[in-house]
Amino acid sequence: MSNQNDLVFSLYKPLRNQIRSYNLLDSLQLIWSYSRNFTFNLPFPSDIESPAGFSPNGDINLRRYRGLPEFEQEFLLREFILHCDTNPTRYSLKQKDKLGKLVNYMRKSFSEEIDTHFTITGDFLLEFNRMAHRQFKWQTVYNQSIIFRYYKVYNDTEVRAIIKNKLKLTPFELFIIGFFFFRATADHFRTNLPYLSEVPAISTEKIAMFFQLFSMPIEQARNELKECQQMNENIFYSFNPLYARPILIYQNSFICPIQMLLFWQVTTGIYYSIVGEHGFENSFGNSFQNYIGEILYICCNNPDIKILEEAKYGKEEMRTTDWIIFDKNAVLFIECKAKRMTMVSKSELDIKKGLESDLKKMASFITQIYKTYVEYTLNKYPHIVFDASKKFIPLIVTLEDWFINMNPSILEMLGNFVIEDLKANDIDTALIDKFPYYIRSCDDFEKDIQLINSLGVLEYFDKIEKNDINNSINNFKYKNPFEGEFEKTFIEPLRHT
C-alpha cells in the first residue's frame, strides 16, 4: 500500500484543520499537564478546564477514561508539533469545549472509522496485537525495579564499555541525569538553557552531552515527524522520533511534554542507541543472562531448590540451557532472550512484514530449549544427571514483554511455527504436549520466581496449567529483590560529592 491512502487523508484533514486553530506552546502545555498528572499525580494548572467527570485527584483509570489516556496524548503531541500555529491564537485547547470537540472527532470520526475500514475481517486479534503494543505499555508505571533492572544490564562490564564508547556517558551518568530531568520537567513546563549543574558529580558539560543525545529543536521534531508519518492504516502506529529524543528545544528553553518518553528512553531506549555496535549482541545477551541469574540467587532461598548455571560440554563445546532450577519433582530449563519484537511487528497489520518473522525467531528459541532437553535426556549435561521422574518445564524469559500470552491468534501462529521448526530439527513434536513451553517477560518472571520458591517448581506450574494460580498471586507478599540497593547505588554517591 502506498504511504497515503485517500480515505485516511479525507478523515484526517478535519482533525488537522482543527489543530491549526490552536497555539503550539499552549497546546504542548495541555499535554504536559495531563502527562505530569498521570505520572506523578501533580495538579492541573489553574487555567486548564477539566473535562466533565474528570478529577485530577481521582482514580487513574477514571482519569484516563474522562480525560486523555496516554496513547492519545502521544498521538496529539505529534499532531500539535506538526500543525499548531506558533503565533498567538484566539482559542485554546485548555478550554474544555474546544478539547472535547477535537477529542470527539479524533475518536469517533477518525480512529473508529479507520478501524472499521482496515481491521482484518474476522481476525480482530491481529489488530489487537498492535493495540496492545500501543496502549498496554502505559499501564506500567515507573518504579525502582524497572530502573534497577536496566541499570544492571547496561552496567555489566562489556555493555558499559560499549555505552561509554558510543554515548560518551556511563550508565550511571545517563541514569542520574535522565531521572533528574524526568522529574524536573514535570515540575516545570519550560526551563531556560543552558542548564547549569548544581551537583559536582555531574558536570554541566555532561548535562550538555545528555541533551545532545536526547533533545532536539521543535523544528527538527516537526521535520522528522513529517518523514515518519504514514497517511494510511498505520497512522496511529508509525515510528515516533520523540521516543528517541523526548526533550524539545524551544527558543532558549527546553520542554518535555510527556515525561514517560524520557523514562523509557533512558531505560529501554538506550538499547536502540547501541544495538548496531560491534560485540553488542553477545555482550547484551550475556548481561541479561547474568541478571536473571542474580535474580535466581536472590529469590531462591528454599533449600529444596537447586540452581545450575550454563555449562559447556562435548568436544565442540556445546552449551547447556542458560539456567536450570530443580527440586525433587521438576526441572525448569530457562532460556534468557534479550531479543525484542521489531517495530513492524508492533505496528503493521500485514503479518508478512514483520510479525511472522519475529514469531519464527521466537519459535527457534523454543526449539533450542527442546533440543537441549534432548541432550539432557542423553546424559550429555556435565552438571546434572537425567531423572525421568522429574517433570521437565521449558521457559523463555524475555527482557521486554512481547504480549504474546494474551492473544490466542498469535499463540496459535507461534505454535504452528514451533511445530515446523521442531520437525525441521528432527525433534519429536509430542514434546510440546507432554512438556508445554512458557514465555514470560522479565518483569513477570521476577514475581514468578518468588512464588516458585514458595510453592515449589511443579506445584507452581501445575497451578498455571489448571488456571488455579490467582489466589496464590493475590495473597503473596512480593519483595523487591534489590531492596535498599537503589539508594546505595544512585543516592549515596551524590550525597558524598
Low-confidence ranges of the chain (pLDDT < 70): 1-2, 119-126, 346-352, 496-497
What's the sign of the alpha-carbon dihedral 242, 248, 249, 250? positive
Give pLDDT, residue 316: 76
pLDDT at site 47: 94
pLDDT of 1 reads 37
Q: Is 372 exposed, middle or buried (0-12, 13-18, 19+ CB in 10 A)?
A: buried
Residue 78: C-alpha distances to residues 30, 31, 73, 132, 479 (Å)? 13, 11, 9, 20, 39
Q: Where are the beta strands (DSSP E) in 352-450?
A: 391-398, 438-441
Task: Please tell me the predicted confidence (pLDDT) of residue 49.
Answer: 93
What backbone phi and psi angles, to 5 degrees, belong to 446? Answer: -65, -25
CA distance 212 to 23: 27
Domain map (residue ranges) of the chain: 6-139, 144-274, 280-466
d(CA 189, CA 178): 16
Give me the pLDDT at residue 135, please: 80
- Residue given cell 553477545 in the structure block: 282
pTM as predicted? 0.92
Amino acid at 470: N
Overall CATH class of domain 280-466: alpha beta
Q: In the prediction, which pLDDT does 350 show?
A: 65
Beta sheet of 191-192, edge-to-edge order: 191-192, 253-255, 247-250, 215-217
Alpha carbon distance 237, 132 (integer Å)? 11
Instruction: Tell me what pLDDT residue 2 has.
Output: 46
Residue 117: per-residue pLDDT: 83
The C-alpha atoms of residue 267 and residue 126 are separated, in whole angstroms, by: 28
